[in-house]
Amino acid sequence: MSTMPIDSDALRARYAQERAKRLRDDGNDQYVEPKGRFAHFLKDPYVTAAPRAPVHDEVTVAIIGGGFAGLTTGARLKQAGVHDVRIIEGGGDVGGAWYWNRYPGAMCDTAAMIYLPLLEETGYMPSQKYTLAPEIFAHAKRIATHFGLYDHALFSTEVTSLVWDEPSSRWIVSTNRGDTIRARFVSMGTGPLHRPKLPGVPGIESFAGHCFHTSRWDYDYTGGDASGAPLHELAGKRVGIVGTGATAVQCIPALGRDAKELYVFQRTPSSIDVRNNHAIDPDMFAALGPGWQSKWLTNFATLQTGRFAEEDLVKDGWTDISQRIRDRVIAEINSSGVGPDTLQRAYEASDDEKMSEIRARVDAIVRDPATAEALKPWYRQLCKRPCFHDEYLQTYNRPNVRLIDTSGKGVERIDATGVWAAGVHYDLDCLIFASGFEVGTEQARRSGFETVGRNGRTLSECWAEGMRSMHGIHVHGFPNLFIVSLTQAANLISNVTHNLVEAGTTIATVVAHALKTESVAVEVTEAAEQAWLQLFAGNTLSLLGAADCTPGYYNNEGRPIGPHETLNTSRYPEGPVAYFQFIDGWRRTGTFEGLEFRRHA
């Protein structure tokens, strides 16, 4: 797109300058938790919980969380012949992130052919390369129906504590609906990005207009729906939105289309690459043979992590980024041989090229030069979640839409009538927080309950110095408990559900084996857990690190990265594909090395 030569040194200096502008001492503490006087930001706007009597019974497996983590684990358990499974979920239905996130324009950023789990098992063809949220939510419900996971499920029910009872070898699950459920096994799929956070700016509680977080979209107020119907109630309203991350990028086009006035308060612009969405060809889909989704998943993970495959089945922005870097490395090696910084130089050169294209795309689309300048991202593409959209930048050409750039400072203050930014007050009727979700806070805080294992030891105590696990799933001291997590496993963030399906398969295999062998408890040994953690000492593939990145949740808000953060973000050193191969082999051995199956309590 741009034919201008790239001055890499100047770029590096600009990146450092932009990072420095945004660094702050309070890191994660800059955000306000949705509790106390902010608890209403968590209220379910979609379903009112029906009264019911408390449940007091016993199940073989309790699954905490009904998102794709819980659903894929539940599906795999059913396939493994474990039928007595109960999902316990805070939302009014299954879906997790896709139950809560119904904001207009919400869609998957990863191609639906690989993002939607269990497509082959359910026989479903996604309508488009990237599907809208209602279709994804419907797919979550399809999985639940197909595998009988609605049976025994408890919705609008939040777990309040999880306690291991050693004498009976059962977990005691307590909830906010007065339930006490005894479970032989528990699988926790409480999600990595689900607890909304709010910008902790002075006066945030004083706004007298209408206000909500994007993950609790108030269609009663805005009108319209998640399928794209106009937000007709906003026709006479002045709307402000705080944040320009992946969520805001998706909902701003609808807000710009329908609000009388839209003010977008920006601290850091996202990088917006081409999306190029299109319908899935039914003939292509019909021709796919058995095992196709697994093949596509492996193909994507392979290319997205810089390895080689004969073809690019998914062909999207993610595989484009990594293939560019990979090809650049090869070109560097061919021209100058292998040196200590070959990889780094190649990465930076290909990123300079890509980000220059992304900035040139802003100029090509946005007509007002000052707005275009403010929308340009000055950091490396993988510093923040890369965004892909074909209507976002265009929205700023509308006369009713104004970008309020805060030059990295964020909004200053909120009062009864609106928002202050860069010394100017903006009068608003409605204020929407697209300020994201907690990352890096303690697990118990994010999940909303404490887990108490053997000898009364809590998971918070166990993880005080950082996460400890084997395979990201098994934790010593917590028998019969399984954690569905990306961390300390493949940590493939470009396709989250791939990680979840693998974890679910592992958990189901282990549970089925424990039942078959009549084991009362299965637990990772201390030595096996320790050996697994050794893999992450000096982990160079940590998601954090990049010192030339603007702050954000990918890099601990720019704060120092110690052993705690490294453990909480680590990835299998040889990468996701190697991890998936490893765990498949581990499952197939049937010996489950590292786990101890106890026959008697």
Site residues, ligand NDP (CB under 6 A): 107-109, 193, 199, 201, 242-248, 250, 265, 267-268, 385, 410-411, 434-437, 552-553
- DSSP 3-state assignment of 476? coil
**Smallest distance from the beta carbon of 242 to ligand NDP, in angstroms?**
5
**Smallest distance from the beta carbon of 132 to ligand NDP, in angstroms?**
10
If the CB atoms of residues 108 and 372 are measured against ligand NDP, the closer one turns out to be: 108
DSSP state at residue 196: B
The CA dihedral of 11, 15, 20, 22, to the nearest 10 degrees, is 140
What span, in angstroms and rounded, lies between the C-alpha atoms of 351 and 348? 5
**Smallest distance from the beta carbon of 399 to ligand NDP, in angstroms?**
23
What span, in angstroms and rounded, lies between the C-alpha atoms of 371 and 423? 18
If the CB atoms of residues 435 and 499 are measured against ligand NDP, the closer one turns out to be: 435
If the CB atoms of residues 268 and 299 are measured against ligand NDP, the closer one turns out to be: 268
Residue 255's φ and ψ, nearest 5 degrees, are -65, -40
**Smallest distance from the beta carbon of 401 to ligand NDP, in angstroms?**
17
Q: Report the 3 state secondary structure along 255-317.
A: HHHHCCEEEEEECCCCCEECCCCCECCHHHHHCCCCCHHHHHHHHHHHHHCCCCCCCCCCCCH
If the CB atoms of residues 247 and 488 are measured against ligand NDP, the closer one turns out to be: 247
The pair of three-digit structure tokens given for residue 83, joined into one six-digit string = 């039928």
Residues 532, 535, 537, 543: is their CA dihedral positive or negative?
A: negative
- DSSP 3-state assignment of 504? helix
The answer to whether 248 and 434 have CB atoms below 8 angstroms apart is yes
**Smallest distance from the beta carbon of 457 to ligand NDP, in angstroms?**
32
If the CB atoms of residues 269 and 477 are measured against ligand NDP, the closer one turns out to be: 269
If the CB atoms of residues 504 and 552 are measured against ligand NDP, the closer one turns out to be: 552
If the CB atoms of residues 246 and 473 are measured against ligand NDP, the closer one turns out to be: 246
What span, in angstroms and rounded, lies between the C-alpha atoms of 402 and 382? 27
If the CB atoms of residues 434 and 521 are measured against ligand NDP, the closer one turns out to be: 434
Nearby residues of 133 by Cβ (< 8 Å), 6 or more positions away:
98, 101, 102, 103, 106, 107, 226
If the CB atoms of residues 215 and 506 are measured against ligand NDP, the closer one turns out to be: 215
**Smallest distance from the beta carbon of 409 to ligand NDP, in angstroms?**
8
Around 216, how many Cα atoms within 13 Å sit in the side-chain half-sphere? 24
If the CB atoms of residues 109 and 332 are measured against ligand NDP, the closer one turns out to be: 109
**Smallest distance from the beta carbon of 222 to ligand NDP, in angstroms?**
18
**Smallest distance from the beta carbon of 553 to ligand NDP, in angstroms?**
5
Burial of residue 245, with CB atoms counted within 10 A of its CB: 0-12 exposed, 13-18 middle, 19 or more buried: buried
User: Which long-range contacts does 3-6 make (Cβ < 8 Å, 24+ apart)?
Assistant: 4/356, 6/352, 6/353, 6/356
The answer to whether 254 and 265 have CB atoms below 8 angstroms apart is no
**Smallest distance from the beta carbon of 318 to ligand NDP, in angstroms?**
11
Say if strands 180-188 and 170-175 run parallel, antiparallel, or are unpaired. antiparallel
**Smallest distance from the beta carbon of 311 to ligand NDP, in angstroms?**
24
**Residue found under tokens 């539940």:** 74
If the CB atoms of residues 68 and 478 are measured against ligand NDP, the closer one turns out to be: 68
What span, in angstroms and rounded, lies between the C-alpha atoms of 400 and 290? 51
**Smallest distance from the beta carbon of 100 to ligand NDP, in angstroms?**
11
